[in-house]
Amino acid sequence: MLEIIFDLLANNAVPLQEHVSTDVVHGSLPKAAAALGVGLAALGAGIAERGIGAAAVGAIAEDREFFGIGLVMTVLPETLVILALVVIFLV
Amino acid sequence: MSSSETGNYEYVSARVRSRRAYLYGDEEYRRFVRMGPGEISRYMEETTYAKEVNEFGARYKGVDLIEYALNHNLASQFEDLLRWSEGELYEHISRYLKKFDAWNVKTILRGIYAKEDIERIRDDLIPAGEFKSAFLEQLIGSSDIEEFVNLLEGTMFGKVLIKGFREYEDTGLLVPLENAIDRCYYQQLLRKTEVVEDPSLVLYTDFLRAEIDFKNIMNALRITHSGSEIPITEYYIQGGKQFTAAKLSSSMKNLDEMISMIRESTYGEQLSGAIEKLEGADSLISFEHELEAVLLEYCDRLSHVYPLSICPVIAFVLSKEKEIENVRAIARGKEAGLSPEEIEKQLVIS
């Protein structure tokens, strides 16, 4: 999948080359990759939350007291996205 | 990967685990043993049985109230399991819960055989299986065993019952019919789980085969204990893991041999406590209870190893059944005037 995206980026870059120098294109490549990284991290978090959310709702249905802990557990994988977001500021 | 195909294991096991936490423990049983039926039903009203006790409270009282509340609660809890589950998980649960169809069919069969009162047969049914209550009513109403077998023709028990009925006509014994039902139940369970490679299902199959093994041991022990000459092949259920029919029938002539066979099998270690009890006492009951407790423990372990599988659900079904049996034993024991110590002996506590 990554190859396709890089291909797309490269192909789109061709007409740009006429106006902008190659340095700029190369400079934006890491940013695009970082953005992709954050997106993938969010996807991973979503998959993780699917299972946890189902279990949490099940537990809350049995006992409302689980609401607090269920909520915390459900959003726990969200830390993945926050950590991935750091990458944005690094590039 | 949609949940409708594979099943919503997360949701169901979370709910089942939560329900499991509300089951009665040792402490409650010990308290029940010292209470009268009225007190027990009052206590039950404050726990998960509130709805049933309130519903039947006006019509029944004492032990009957407890019995009705227990049976209906069991049925409604197992209905919930089916309501929650989806896809593959639903298939597994509904197949396992056919256990109660087998139970009901056997109960009615015995009732008809013994010409028991319709009301009394109805009391002993557990409406948790697939058969609708109208169909069960029809079965109870059948005038003799032939009519009963004919009514069941379209169901999963149909074919084997017709075969068993021929034997019944020759011998006049219920055994072939009852065995046909048991065998049929386990075969339909194992048939669908044989060809899978999912590790959790492999373990589930293992558990089912252990359950069959234990059933076979129990049957063999009962025959040996009663001193009757019926060959074990009459009772034997195919699909067990450890004990073949030949192995059982060669050692069942004598109780000591039987015990040493169990000790040498892979269950020997887990059952060591039970085996000692069996050697010491001549009552089979405590051994039977020990077997049940070991099976429950085995299933519990599986449900920790594979939390997202059918195992937690089966563990819940088994422990709920134990709870029902225990409370019923206490209530009935109280009614019969047994002492608390004697009643405690009848309980399966794991």
- What is the residue-averaged pLDDT of chain B? 82
Q: Which residue has the higher pLDDT, B251 or B110?
A: B110
B241's tokens: 């893991």
- pLDDT at position A53 is 94
Residue percentage of chain B with pLDDT more than 70: 92
- Mean pLDDT for B67-80 is 90
On average, the pLDDT of chain A sits at: 83
Predicted pLDDT at B195: 63
Q: Say which amino acid occupies B185.
A: Y
The more confident residue out of B141 and B258 is: B141
CB neighbour list of residue B17: distance below 8 Å, 6 or more residues apart: A59, B312, B316
**CB-CB contact of A52 with A72 (8 Å):** no
Distance between CA atoms of B87 and B137, rounded to whole angstroms?
30
Does A58 contact B14 at a Cβ distance shorter than 8 Å?
Answer: yes
Instruction: Give the closest-approach CA distance of A52 to chain B in angstroms.
Output: 7
Assess whether pLDDT exceeds 60 at residue A17: no
d(CA B66, CA B56): 9
Between CA B260 and CA B279 the distance in angstroms is: 10
Query: What mean pLDDT comes out for the span A54-78?
Result: 93
Q: What pLDDT is stored for residue B1 in this prediction?
A: 46
Query: What is residue B7's three-state secondary structure?
Result: coil
CA pair distance B109, B118, nearest whole angstrom: 12
Axis-axis angle for helices B311-335, B26-33 (nearest 10): 10
In terms of pLDDT, which residue wins out, B274 or B343?
Answer: B343
Query: What count of other Cβ atoms lies within 10 Å of the Cβ of residue B99?
Result: 19
Burial B307-323 (b: 16+ CB within 10 A, else e): bbbbbbbbbbbbbbbbb
Query: Both tokens of residue A42?
Result: 């969010």
B152/B105 Cα distance (integer angstroms):
9
* pLDDT at B127 (0 to 100): 80
Q: What number of C-beta contacts closer than 8 Å exist between A and B? A: 34
Contact B14 A52 (CB under 8 A): no
Share in percent of chain A as helix, strand, coil (round to 5): 90, 0, 10
Question: What pLDDT band is residue A36 in, cutting at 50, 70 and 90?
Answer: very high
* A55/chain B closest Cα distance in angstroms: 4
Tell me how long chain B is: 350
Write the pLDDT tens digit of every residue in B206-250.
888 888 888 888 877 777 777 776 777 777 887 777 777 777 777
d(CA B206, CA B185): 16
Residue numbers in B near A54 (CB within 8 A): 3, 8, 10-11, 14
Each residue's pLDDT tens digit, B282-340: 567 777 777 788 788 878 888 888 888 888 999 999 999 999 989 988 998 888 888 88
As a whole-number percent, the residues of chain A with pLDDT over 70 amount to 77
Q: B18 in contact with A at a CB cutoff of 8 Å? A: yes
- pLDDT of A38 reads 93
d(CA A24, CA B265): 74
Chain A contact for B19 (CB, 8 A cutoff): yes
Domains of chain B: 194-309 (1.20.1690.10)
Average pLDDT over residues A59-78: 93
**Is residue B198 pLDDT above 80, yes or no?**
no
Contact A54 B8 (CB under 8 A): yes
Are A61 and B15 inside 8 Å of each other by CB? yes
